[in-house]
Chains A and B, each alone.
Chain A
């Protein structure tokens, strides 16, 4: 077993070692050059039209290790953002003279976290556009925890300190459905409505496909639930609040019958029907730390399992992680359970065996997908919004802090500039993050950010547990401290 771990690590290191320079070459040799030309052209045009107002805004994050969320890790790379969008991500990137540059050498860069459920991060009411308070404590703490976008009520919006412009990215992306054994008539009613909606959708599609002149008027939608039509047409996701195994099975069957993919919120017993949910193409929004004892009167499996996320993921169910409390309870003195500790919530899914990549996805791209904004946020890719966080370690590690948050290609949070966390493991200008002290490719000597803590598996490095020799060396070092 030891050897197999070693092998995987070695393989990864090899792939990294080979892959990255190759990428660097590809980027430098062909498309990069054309980019420069294009950009210069555009810039010139801009200057002509209006110098001050519409000036191109460049922002570059240079030198960090980019955990893009697509699976790729680009070490010591550069991300160039233009007017809030990522235009280049890789190596040998040309940076315009007037670009604002953030030196992230020695730090990690992640896509901004997307909170699938939140309250209070925007400092206002349910209507983010008109009520957001961009100076609120909630927004500051949200960014400090790595959240750059959050769902609040029926909206998904960005967290941008000091700005109220273009925050809301989407709304009403969920169609709430109830399908519960407790109300059999309700189940019957929903099926009937779905039948009607499906029939209407067929008629509508046929009408649209009909090219003849005398095809008549658009079919009337009287009595049809257009929300259901939107779900069947794939324009909206249906969301069910369900924890119980029986209810989850019902939902899976319903969705397979009507051909749409459900979103389950809760899903405490989902691990017992993971295969069925996987076949139904479900996404489950779960709280890894949820706990409920099994109903002892039942023979079948039940209750919560810390392995819920892992089991679901293995069955092809997409998993989004939601914090135990969607508000901000830390300000009451009990930290670790609320939305501003979302990575810790995700790390409990890892405790249950979920892979690190899937855990990261569960708080980035999966929620972005649910809200229908995965073309803009959730991963770091060229063409997407320049929303990222720069951390002093693995974002899923409990001790890691967000050092800077970038939203729409502008810095909206700097740990050292705010009163909340600046004193904790402060970031001296001359001191790099711990990983940076060793050359890329070498094994990391100690755990990120924590002085002398005995080695904790560092997933990114692909190492298993340490060999005794290194341990002793480390221990001696910590004694010296």
Chain B
């Protein structure tokens, strides 16, 4: 009798077995429009490109999430129009590319990258080095960057390490091109500040007191320098001498670039907020912001500060952590979820690549959701795009699909927060810079 039952199960299993597999849908291959006049449609100097998709993720900051059945028009590397199909007339000269069921979304933005160069940028002689530039170390199109690109990362902030309090200036880069000139978005792209943790391992083993003193003193000097230039620019007089050591502070004062702050743990981040924001009034974003930092996310929210969280993505309950950082969440606390619970809205993600490979930036969003981030209003996708872009001061150029912005576009198999979904094509400034159908799938 038992055999009969088994046989019945087996038989019925055969009948029903297809159901879970049925959804392995494969969309037809993407048809890239042919070049017109030797230039790709959508690229600088070429004809326009119209992308049609069932779903376009706009990721506007505090704006629209998504358009269903939409069209996006690209010309000269810039987004010309984006909207519902019914509202947009595709100009006759535009080449059309229908991506079918695939999604269209903005390229991912990484505000903590160490792999776009040769990592020769950890100068450890002085405790503060505001004059050093990461741009001198860039290696466009290297393997790790290309892997990141295959994972959808189109813009990165390449920054010095956190071995000193002020590591130097970062550079904002595109990842899709092979020359520095085409890659550069902004240089200087940032100033790197590191508080507590890593710089404590510097030559003299400074404590937090000295480091905060040193940071304050350095920044005040820089601000004073910038103020003399501001006075000159406003009132004229004797032209001040250019000092490369302090030039970055002129950009900071104009809020053209932001300070990316290696800061984590409650007290340390509180110090960053009170010192850099409240006292010195310089633009900065919380980089890392891990361990128990989530507990003061409310303070950061009040001041409209951005957070680019990672590479740690959870605050785990263990004695080692309690001894080390004082954080005792008494549960597996998702970092981003903690921020969200405190009412924090500017949640971005980083990888600190190579700590986490650049191409796994999306996984940081997935883990955030897994560990409790409520993914309403596309919080996770915004944390990969517009939030880090704004944190780094390039929210006007990239991070969302809006008219006038760079045409940095991903064509994906679905929501990129889900690790099961992948990038089928990357377009940067209107050019196809990653096409797995031609060059093989990298990620």
> A residues within 8 Å of B by Cβ?
1-2, 5, 8-9, 11-13, 15-16, 18-20, 22-23, 26-27, 30-32, 34-35, 38, 67-68, 70-73, 89-90, 137, 289, 291, 293, 305-307, 330-336, 344, 347-348, 350-352, 355-357, 381-383, 396-399, 419-425, 450-466, 468, 471-472, 475, 478, 481
Contact = CB atoms under 8 A, between A and B. Distances in A.
A2 B101 contact: yes
Most interface-central of B28, B337, B374 (chain A CB within 10 A): B374
A9 B101 CA distance: 15
Contacts of B15: 15, 18-19, 22
A394 B17 CA distance: 16
B24 A459 contact: yes
Most interface-central of B12, B317, B415 (chain A CB within 10 A): B12
A68 B316 CA distance: 33
A471 B55 CA distance: 9
Interface residues of B, number: 80
Contacts of B419: 344, 347-348, 351, 398
A197 to B, nearest CB: 37
29 contacts: A1-B27, A2-B100, A5-B101, A8-B23, A11-B22, A15-B15, A15-B19, A27-B5, A31-B1, A31-B5, A71-B18, A72-B17, A331-B321, A333-B315, A344-B419, A347-B420, A356-B23, A382-B5, A420-B317, A420-B332, A421-B331, A421-B332, A451-B376, A452-B375, A454-B415, A456-B415, A457-B414, A459-B21, A472-B68
A459 B418 contact: no
Contacts of A456: 414-415, 418, 420-421
A450 B369 contact: yes
Given A422-B331, A475-B66, A398 B370 contact: yes
Interface in B422-443: 422, 440-443
A72 B16 contact: yes
Contacts of A19: 12, 15-16
B23 A460 contact: yes
Given A461-B23, A462-B19, A464-B25, 18 more contacts: A1-B101, A8-B23, A20-B16, A31-B1, A31-B5, A70-B13, A291-B147, A331-B321, A333-B313, A333-B316, A336-B366, A344-B363, A398-B418, A423-B331, A424-B370, A424-B371, A450-B375, A456-B414
Most interface-central of B9, B313, B317, B363 (chain A CB within 10 A): B9
A72 B55 contact: no
Contact of B25 (A5, A67, A68, A347): A5
A306 B371 contact: no
A1 B101 CA distance: 9
Contacts of A465: 54-55, 101, 414
Contacts of A481: 376
Contacts of B355: 334
B290 interface: yes
Interface in B1-58: 1-2, 4-6, 8-9, 12-25, 27-28, 54-55, 57
Contacts of B403: none
A427 B136 CA distance: 53
Contacts of B321: 331, 333
Contacts of A18: 15
B162 interface: no
Contact of B68 (A15, A34, A462, A468): A468
A379 B430 CA distance: 49
A357 B23 contact: no
Given A8-B22, A35-B1, A351 B422 contact: yes
A381 B23 contact: no
Contact of A356 (B1, B8, B20): B20
A466 B68 CA distance: 9
List of 8 A-B pairs having minimum Cβ-Cβ separation, nearest first:
A71-B17, A333-B312, A31-B5, A462-B22, A459-B23, A468-B68, A12-B22, A72-B13
A464 B14 CA distance: 23
Nearest to B315: A333
Contact of B8 (A8, A27, A34): A27
A34 B4 CA distance: 11
Contacts, number: 253
Contact of A454 (B66, B100, B147, B442): B66
Interface in B273-301: 290-291
B118 to A, nearest CB: 15
Contacts of B101: 1-2, 5, 464-465
A404 B23 CA distance: 27
A313 to B, nearest CB: 12
B348 interface: no
A457 B23 contact: yes
A461 B22 CA distance: 8
B228 interface: no
Contacts of B363: 336, 344
A424 B375 CA distance: 13
Contact of A382 (B6, B14, B418, B440): B6
Contact of A478 (B143, B372, B376, B415): B376
B418 A424 contact: no
Contacts of B367: 335-336, 398
A274 B178 CA distance: 33
B69 interface: yes
Contacts of B18: 8, 11-12, 15, 71
A464 B291 CA distance: 40
Contacts of B27: 1
B29 to A, nearest CB: 10
Given A306-B422, A465-B101, A424 B23 contact: no
Contact of B337 (A15, A291, A424): A424
Nearest to B291: A333
B115 interface: no
Contacts of B28: 1
A383 B312 CA distance: 43
Contacts of B331: 419-423
B363 to A, nearest CB: 5
B261 interface: no
B23 A399 contact: no
B345 to A, nearest CB: 15
B318 interface: yes
B9 A381 contact: yes
Nearest to A8: B22
Contact of B4 (A30, A72, A306): A30
A175 B420 CA distance: 34
Contacts of A293: 143
B395 interface: no
A306 B13 contact: no
A12 B66 CA distance: 30
A330 B14 CA distance: 39
Contacts of A291: 147, 357
Nearest to B19: A12
Contacts of B14: 71
